[in-house]
């Protein structure tokens, strides 16, 4: 077996045979090898080393005794290794460890002293996926991209895509051969577009581009986001309009499949001329420079991480640096992740709203299908259909609904009655945003564009990020409303004047505070979202000495969209917890079968409150249920069953409606003739319901 050992920023490959030696031997052997290869007299640590030698150098430095090993840790996770353990028992073949010496002191340039170890970012040992997704530059969806981000699929290029890439590369090479002046190929960039570069410096031009543009700041993207960014850039390059070579493109594919992910800071793009800073960091790692992460190595020098996975860095040719960084893939990848999360929480927000309406003893009559048809918005109809399927019906009767059928409440609050109208526009906006992002994911966004079929290279503006930037801002303002209306429903649940339930949903109020501060948390998140909903894309600052005189600011639009969605998840989690707690005060009455399934799902991770307890873990547990889509999964088959089996819309009596005569006509859904007989019992039951309602209305 072989182990890679890091000493003062240098990586050493240490053969360990069958692993019968101890960890102590590994440390000493690493130190001996390091001593043989280090610079004489005054040793110089690697640029990214977290520790430096405590030796003062001088004439006696060569004769000094080798420093002793202080501690040996696994690079990934930072676990301390016991010196007497055998290597085979605690390390795997091709594992990575870090050695700290007794003579080391904290590097003075480090913000925090001491060695920085790699946090666990994947559970257990990473298992390479075996299934592939083929990228052709034209058919990638947000769902595909999110799945690629999880590391459960590898990617490969379609044969047609490879042919297009080869044709565009041939045109670039012909341009270079003929010494033609073309932006980004034989000229400088931005303000230097009129500066012609000598032919023997074209490769250096591309390398300088990547290094100089890798100027982002802030925390790095997570492995999930970086995978999405890398996969999306590969998809755009696969369209065949970028001029990249097949070897360079395959290097990206191989790095993705090995989960070798460069350090990409999340801040620095203005979203025009593409997402230059983050994509440059992505490209820099592929050149073997900067930092890189993989599940087996953790963070390390990109060249060593690539070498450990038998990968070779890209060697750039003409235009290839520009091809790697010119595009809107940062905005679009983060926007696609926000979109996926928004779709997930929005449909579960419908379910949670239904549960709140049930425990608040509201009525479903406001969701009448004919009323919904009078306002022709598909999202509104979709939400109303879901609410009717979840609430009291002949298919799913509710004892709670039956208990207050003849109450004197004339109207429900807007937060209950207007759910289809408020939630509906959120769903419609999400659908609209999806359309924009799907188009953007499969668009050529380079500059210049290589039109090989025409033998022409054109400088244009497809790199401008206004489309995905605006889409992300639309998504932000839309999904915020799910939390905004949810927080008001939480207020109704915890306020005894509105809910007719114990204050803050807890017994012995005063001694117990119940959901008092949980509601405050929801309110704070909604208020934070209001600020984040200010559109980033309405701003623009001129950059590149006036060359880029209008930019989209889409990077921040995408990042804050994701933040807003995550805040919405917490607010809905709090509403769900509050609604489940509220129903405890209505027992032994039961709600509908689908809503009982929701409560059962929550109670699997959170028990009811009899008295105050540490609440934050419960909020996190329910938020995780929502993130995993388990609340939706609990009711989806119930909704489908209702849709396909209830032949007549249930219209029970409610004080929120009135009529004359024998009541409203029965509303029958279109059904196959073969099922008409099965509908008869339901018709009889509906007739009895109508007679009772009519009698009550005439009193």
- Do 220 and 213 meet the contact criterion of CB atoms below 8 Å apart? no
Omega cis (within 30) before 625 = no
Nearest in space to 432 (alpha carbons), one of 471, 468, 483, 479: 471
| Gap between the Cα atoms of 576 and 620, Å rounded | 12
CA distance to 490, 523, 539, per residue, from 530 (Å): 18, 11, 17
Structure-token match 């440390």, residue found: 27
183 is catalytic: yes
Query: Is the separation of the CB atoms in 468 and 236 below 8 Å?
Result: no
Q: List the end-to-end C-alpha distance of the chain, in Å, as a whole number.
A: 89
Q: What's 435-465 look like in SS3?
A: HHHHHHHCCCCCCCEEECCCCEEECCCCCCC
Q: How far apart are CA 384 and CA 510, in angstroms?
A: 39
CB within 8 Å of 615: residues ≥ 6 apart: 517, 518
Distance from C-alpha of 546 to C-alpha of 432, rounded to nearest angstrom? 33
SS3 content of the chain, % helix, strand, coil (to 5): 50, 10, 40
Q: Which residues contact 129 (CB under 8 A, 6 or more apart)?
A: 151, 152, 153, 154
Question: What value, to the nearest 5°, has the Cα angle with vertex 177 and ends 172 and 179?
Answer: 95
- 154 Cβ contact partners less than 8 Å away, ≥ 6 residues apart: 128, 129, 130, 131, 132, 133, 256, 257
User: Helix, strand or coil for residue 6?
Assistant: strand
Query: For residue 589, how many other CB atoms are within 10 A of its CB?
Result: 12
For 134-172, b/e burial (b = at least 16 CB within 10 A) is ebbbeebebebbbbbbebebbbebeeebbebbeebbebb
Distance CA 326, CA 239 (A): 14
- Whose tokens are 């150098």? That residue is 57
Contact status, residue 562 vs residue 532, Cβ threshold 8 Å: no
Contacts of 677 (CB under 8 A, 6+ apart): none
* Short-list 326, 287, 305, CA closest to 204: 287
Q: What is the DSSP letter of 252?
A: H
Q: Is the separation of the CB atoms in 129 and 154 below 8 Å?
A: yes
Contacts of 618 (CB under 8 A, 6+ apart): 577, 605, 606
Q: Which of 34, 183, 304, 642 is catalytic?
A: 183
Secondary structure of 43-110 as H, E, C letters: CCCCCCCCEEECCCCCCCCCCCCCCCEEEEEECECCCECCCCCEHHHHCCCCEEEEEEECCEEECCCC
According to DSSP H, which parts of 214-298 are helical? Answer: 223-237, 246-257, 276-286
- Torsion sign across C-alpha atoms 522, 528, 530, 535: negative
Active-site residues, by number, are 183
């Amino acid at each position: 077996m072989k182990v890679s050992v890091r000493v003062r920023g240098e990586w050493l490959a240490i053969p360990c045979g069958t692993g019968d030696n101890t960890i102590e031997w590994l440390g000493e052997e690493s130190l001996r090898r390091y001593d043989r290869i280090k610079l004489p007299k005054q040793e110089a640590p690697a640029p990214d080393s977290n520790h430096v030698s405590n030796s003062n150098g001088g004439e006696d430095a060569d004769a000094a005794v080798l420093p002793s090993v202080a501690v040996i840790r696994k690079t990934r996770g930072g676990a301390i290794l016991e010196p007497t353990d055998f290597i085979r028992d605690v390390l795997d073949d091709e594992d990575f460890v870090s050695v700290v010496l007794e003579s080391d002191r904290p590097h003075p340039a480090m913000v925090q002293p001491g060695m920085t170890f790699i946090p666990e970012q994947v559970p257990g040992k990473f298992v390479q996926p075996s299934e592939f997704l083929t990228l052709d530059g034209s058919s990638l969806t947000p769902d595909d991209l999110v799945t690629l981000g999880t590391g459960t699929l590898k990617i490969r290029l379609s044969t047609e895509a490879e042919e297009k890439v080869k044709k565009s590369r041939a045109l670039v090479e012909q341009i270079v051969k003929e010494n033609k002046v073309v932006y980004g190929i034989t000229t400088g960039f931005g303000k230097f577009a009129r500066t012609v570069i000598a032919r023997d410096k074209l490769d250096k031009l591309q390398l300088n581009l990547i290094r100089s543009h890798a100027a982002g700041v802030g925390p790095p993207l997570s492995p999930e986001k970086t995978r999405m960014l890398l996969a999306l850039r590969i998809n755009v390059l696969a369209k065949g309009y970028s001029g990249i070579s097949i070897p360079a493109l395959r290097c990206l594919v191989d790095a993705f499949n090995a989960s070798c992910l460069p350090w990409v800071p999340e801040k620095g793009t203005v979203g025009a001329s593409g997402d230059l800073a983050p994509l440059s960091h992505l490209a820099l790692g592929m050149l073997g420079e900067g930092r890189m992460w993989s599940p087996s190595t953790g963070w390390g020098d990109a060249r060593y991480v690539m070498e450990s996975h038998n990968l070779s860095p890209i060697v750039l040719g003409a235009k290839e640096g520009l091809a790697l960084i010119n595009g809107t893939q940062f905005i679009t990848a983060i926007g696609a992740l926000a979109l996926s999360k928004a779709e997930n929480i929005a449909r579960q927000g419908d379910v949670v709203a239904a549960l709140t309406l049930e425990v608040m003893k509201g009525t479903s009559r406001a969701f009448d299908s004919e009323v919904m048809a009078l306002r022709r918005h598909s999202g509104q109809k979709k939400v109303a259909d879901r609410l009717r399927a979840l609430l009291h019906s002949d298919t799913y009767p509710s004892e709670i609904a039956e208990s207050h059928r003849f109450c004197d409440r004339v109207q429900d609050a807007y937060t209950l009655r207007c759910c289809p109208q408020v939630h509906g526009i959120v769903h419609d906006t999400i659908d609209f945003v999806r359309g924009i992002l799907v188009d953007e994911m499969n668009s050529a966004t380079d500059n210049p564009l290589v039109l090989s079929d025409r033998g022409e290279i054109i400088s244009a503006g497809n790199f401008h990020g206004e489309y995905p930037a605006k889409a992300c801002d639309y998504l932000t303002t839309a999904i915020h409303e799910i939390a905004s209306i949810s927080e008001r429903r939480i207020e109704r649940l915890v306020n005894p004047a509105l809910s007719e339930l114990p204050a803050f949903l807890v017994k012995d109020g005063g001694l117990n505070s119940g959901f008092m501060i949980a509601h405050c948390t929801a309110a704070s998140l909604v208020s934070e979202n209001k600020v984040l909903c200010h559109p980033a894309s309405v701003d623009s600052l001129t950059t590149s000495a006036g060359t880029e005189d209008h930019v989209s600011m889409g990077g921040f639009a995408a990042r804050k969209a994701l933040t807003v969605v995550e805040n919405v998840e917490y607010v809905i989690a709090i509403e769900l917890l509050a609604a489940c707690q509220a129903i405890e005060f209505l027992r032994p009455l039961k709600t509908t079968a689908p809503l009982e399934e929701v409560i059962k799902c929550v109670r699997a991770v959170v028990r009811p409150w009899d008295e105050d307890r540490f609440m934050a873990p419960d909020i996190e547990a329910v938020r995780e249920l929502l993130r995993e889509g388990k609340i939706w999964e609990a009711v989806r088959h119930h909704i489908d069953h209702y849709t396909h089996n209830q032949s007549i819309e249930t219209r029970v009596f409610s004080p929120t409606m009135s009529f004359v005569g024998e009541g409203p006509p029965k509303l029958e859904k279109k059904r196959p003739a073969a099922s008409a007989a099965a509908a008869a019992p339901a018709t009889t039951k509906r007739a009895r319901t109508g007679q009772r309602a009519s009698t009550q209305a005439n009193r």
